[in-house]
């Protein structure tokens, strides 16, 4: 029987490889090139208008596989995150999801952790 820690490791690594494979596709790399051709200040708006829009993504040939999500996220360390590529793990894992973050090369985070609405308390 495989120890639970090894199962978690296998699932996290498998999911990370799926995210990396999608991030290396030509359409996704083209999307990143389009975004990075903009000034650091313009990238936040690009994320809002393009990366968070299914229609804009599809127009660029970027269609995430089922279970993968492009989203904005904020982190307590205030890293300059523009967006994340996320996939939730299967049921029964201690970890909830695996995330690749895409940060701005300069500037401020797109969303500040302190400005996020507080999460409701768990029952």
User: Shortest CA distance to 89 belongs to which of 80, 98, 81, 102?
Assistant: 98
Tell me which range, 6-15, 54-63, 90-99, is most confidently predicted by mean pLDDT. Answer: 54-63
**Numbers of helices and strands, H then E, in the chain:** 4, 3
Residue 61 token pair:
């040939």
Mean pLDDT of 45-53: 95
More confident residue, 15 or 116: 15
Spatial distance between the Cα atoms of 60 and 118, rounded to a whole number of angstroms: 34
- pLDDT at res. 112: 66
% of the chain residues with pLDDT over 70:
83
Minimum mean pLDDT range among 11-25, 43-57, 96-110: 96-110
Write out the two tokens for 50.
């393009």
Which residues pair with residue 68 across a beta bridge?
87
Other Cβ atoms less than 10 A from the Cβ of 44: the count is 20
β-bridge partners, 83: 102
């Amino acid at each position: 029987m495989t120890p639970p820690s090894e199962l978690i490791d296998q699932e996290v690594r498998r999911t990370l490889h799926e995210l990396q494979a999608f991030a290396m596709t030509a359409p996704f790399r083209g999307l990143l090139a389009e975004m990075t051709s903009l000034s650091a200040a313009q990238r936040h708006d690009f994320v809002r208008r393009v990366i968070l829009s299914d229609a804009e993504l599809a127009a660029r040939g970027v269609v995430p596989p089922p279970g993968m999500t492009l989203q904005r996220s904020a982190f307590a360390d205030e890293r300059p995150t523009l967006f994340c590529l996320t996939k939730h793990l299967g049921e029964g894992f201690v970890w909830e999801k695996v995330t690749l973050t895409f940060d701005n090369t300069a500037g401020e985070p797109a969303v500040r952790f302190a400005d996020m609405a507080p999460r409701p308390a768990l029952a």
